[in-house]
Amino acid sequence: MTARVSLVNDQKIKSILLLRSADLALTIHALDLLAKQFPGAKVFLLTQRPVLDFFKSQAARAELIEYPFRDFHPGIDPLTLPGVPRVDLALALYKNQGEGYEEVNAFLLACIRARFFGRINGALDLAFRSVPAVMRRAIVLKNICKLYDYHPGAALRSRHLSRRYGRNSRQMILCGPGCRIRVENSGKLNLGANAIVRFGYVPGEWQTIQRPGGVAVRIHRGAELTFSGSVNLFSNVKILVFPCARMSIGEGSYVAFGTRIFVQDSIEIGRNCAISWDVELADSDFHRVKFEDARVRRSGIRIGDQVWIGAGSRILKGVTLGNHVTVGAGSVVTRDFPDHSVIAGNPAKLIAEQPGE
């Protein structure tokens, strides 16, 4: 992908496909730019289901195409995108100058049929060019290899797990090197529709200081771990689901570097949650607290949708957090908090309330 503005006559561009950005306002500005730059051209916006309604009300200039997955990356099978048309120009949309968008560029080249490829950056500068087939293949191959940190064993492991636990090509497991995923007899690893789960993931901007892989997941007999949609488990995350316990993680959530999750009863994590690094969730004491008490106290943890948990926090047994809760870094959460709470401290206390929608 180039940073040079193409010399192609704008009048030759009759159809355009834009990948939506996580920055919704930037996406609207980019659509406005395309309307001015290419008057009369048909513009398609490839976007995920959770924001379809937003763009239906805000992006009248574009024809919306639902993208079934969370992220744009070259591991996607183009056959899972039958509604995406051939266009004259395909564009990625960056929030910055392009740092960390190599996978997005490779997705564009691998999955979108177009005459010209390019980008709009965070400053709304537009650049595009024709990309020869040999160059397209080289860029796509390089980035597919990067999905597995250039480790053939990780690629083979990913393919094996995808076939074993996925029902079709819309369900994928991508493993970095050194990931250990053990599902014991009668244990279950469940993937929701269109779920792409990345074990040992490292976002582009972190790749100079973090290495992919190192995730360890063990699902004991009779236990279940369910990914309701696409989820990213960053490098060195540890998940242990004890016998007959249940854990689920919702669509769009991620668990960052070095976080540990231990489940003896049940842990539910909602949609679009951000769990920062070095967090620990444990729904049990794992041993008796008093010598004369033979019981091991355990009680499930429930985390709502769009919850942010700061680095180094601890979520203890029996806690329920509502939707849109923010947990400050280093907090120890020992009790329930309702929707829109901002909490922090040891033990965590309510320090503010965010306005509801």
pLDDT, tens digit, 9 for 90 and up, residues 228-266: 999 999 999 999 999 999 999 999 999 999 999 999 999
Q: Hey, how many other C-beta atoms are within 10 angstroms of the C-beta on 258?
A: 19
The more confidently predicted of residues 248 and 12 is 248
Structure confidence by residue, pLDDT tens digits, 37-92: 999 999 999 999 888 889 988 877 899 999 999 889 898 999 999 899 999 999 99
The more confidently predicted of residues 3 and 69 is 69
Q: Give domain 11-145's CATH number out of 2.60.40.10, 1.10.1060.10, 3.40.50.720, 3.40.50.2020.
A: 3.40.50.720
Residue pair 340/322 in contact by the 8 Å Cβ criterion: yes
220 among known catalytic residues: no
Q: Which long-range contacts (CB under 8 A, 24 or more apart) does 258-262 make?
A: 259/234, 261/237, 262/286
d(CA 124, CA 31): 10
Which of 29, 73, 151, 287 is catalytic? The answer is 287
Helix, strand, coil % over all residues of the chain, rounded to 5: 20, 30, 50
pLDDT of residue 99: 78
Q: Is 89 exposed, middle or buried (0-12, 13-18, 19+ CB in 10 A)?
A: buried
288 pLDDT exceeds 80?
no
pLDDT bin (cut points 50, 70, 90) of residue 2 is: very low
- Between CA 304 and CA 313, with CA 309 as vertex, the angle to 5 degrees is 125
**Which residue spans of the chain are classified as CATH 3.40.50.720?**
11-145
Element containing residue 157 per DSSP (H, E): helix 152-165
* Range of weakest confidence among 8-12, 261-265, 320-324: 8-12
Q: Which percentage of the chain shows pLDDT scores above 70?
A: 94
10 pLDDT exceeds 90?
no
pLDDT of residue 190: 97
pLDDT of residue 1: 46
Residue pair 81/108 in contact by the 8 Å Cβ criterion: no
Q: What are the residues whose beta carbons fall under 8 Å from the beta carbon of 60, sequence distance 6 or more? A: none
Return the CATH architecture of domain 151-353. 3 Solenoid (2.160)
What average pLDDT does range 138-143 have in this prediction?
Answer: 94
How many DSSP H helices and E strands does the chain contain?
A: 5, 28
d(CA 297, CA 265): 10
What's the whole-model pTM score? 0.85
* Range of weakest confidence among 75-89, 146-160, 276-290, 295-309: 276-290
d(CA 342, CA 159): 41
pLDDT bin (cut points 50, 70, 90) of residue 4 is: very low
pLDDT of residue 28: 94
**Which residue spans of the chain are classified as CATH 2.160.10.10?**
151-353
pLDDT bin (cut points 50, 70, 90) of residue 191 is: very high
d(CA 14, CA 9): 11
pLDDT of residue 292: 53
